[in-house]
Amino acid sequence: MKFCNQCGNPVDQRIPQGDTRLRYVCGTCEVIHYQNPNIVAGCIPVWGEQVLLCRRAIEPRLGYWTLPAGFMENGETLAQAAARETDEEACARVRDLHLYTLFDLPHISQVHVFFRAQLADIDFAVGEESLEVRLFHQSEIPWAQLAFPTVGRTLECYFADRLEQHYPVRNEFLGPLLAIKPQP
Ligand code: ZN
């Protein structure tokens, strides 16, 4: 951040009185610009034995497969954000959303949250941010072409939990070096 979004004058970094962290502070109007983690919300849209994945048409990770997910907007709930992203990326409607995985990613100041969800129908289509959208059986998942570690980990958990028909909510920490493990 270089300029204040309140008055347009330059900002500098300092620790405000009563605070313990460096913040961007406007030298003119004194507004403190707090920066906090971003929340990414998404779904595992399920249709029978299959799950829906989207191939990304945008950076980062253009051309790689992902579960539909994206940044939460102001004024919506987590589940609404997950359903909206599914609609935007896959033109798909979901129901019965259940909180499933929650990943802390402090190295990029993000939290990723995925819901298990049922596809309401299979009238999905390629959304603006996707190149391709399709259903996959477990054996068809393109493990080596997944866009993000949190997507791979969520799919791993899902297929393991499906065997037990028990889906505990999982809160995991994913460090910067954790790669997607290939499925045996
Ligand atoms: Zn200012």
**What does the pLDDT read at residue 175?**
79
Centre of ligand 1 from the C-alpha of residue 38, in Å: 23
Residue type, 79: A
DSSP state letter for 22: -
**What does the pLDDT read at residue 66?**
98
- 8-32 average pLDDT score: 95
Contact 62, 105 (CB under 8 A): no
**What does the pLDDT read at residue 174?**
84
Inform me whether the pLDDT recorded for 176 exceeds 90. Answer: no
Name the band, by pLDDT with cuts 50, 70 and 90, for residue 142. Answer: very high
Centre of ligand 1 from the C-alpha of residue 3, in Å: 8
- Asked whether the CA dihedral 168, 160, 165, 64 is positive or negative, the reply is positive
Centre of ligand 1 from the C-alpha of residue 20, in Å: 21
Centre of ligand 1 from the C-alpha of residue 1, in Å: 12
To the question of domain 1-35 being in CATH 2.20.70.10, the answer is yes
Name the band, by pLDDT with cuts 50, 70 and 90, for residue 184. Answer: very low
Rg over CA atoms, the chain: 19
Centre of ligand 1 from the C-alpha of residue 31, in Å: 6
Centre of ligand 1 from the C-alpha of residue 36, in Å: 19
Centre of ligand 1 from the C-alpha of residue 25, in Å: 8
Backbone torsions φ then ψ of 123, nearest 5 degrees: -85, 40
Encoded tokens for 6? 């309140």
Residue type, 175: G
Contact 106, 145 (CB under 8 A): no
Residue type, 51: V
Each residue's pLDDT tens digit, 26-51? 999 999 999 999 999 999 999 999 99
Smallest Cα–Cα separation from 176: which of 80, 104, 122, 127? 104
Centre of ligand 1 from the C-alpha of residue 76, in Å: 28
CATH topology match: 1-35 vs 38-173: no
Separation of alpha carbons 95 and 43, rounded Å: 10
- Domain covering 38-173: architecture: Alpha-Beta Complex (3.90)
Centre of ligand 1 from the C-alpha of residue 16, in Å: 15
Separation of alpha carbons 136 and 47, rounded Å: 9
Kindly report whether the peptide bond that precedes residue 60 is cis, defined as omega within 30 degrees of 0: yes
Per-domain boundaries in the chain: 1-35, 38-173
% of the chain at pLDDT higher than 90: 92
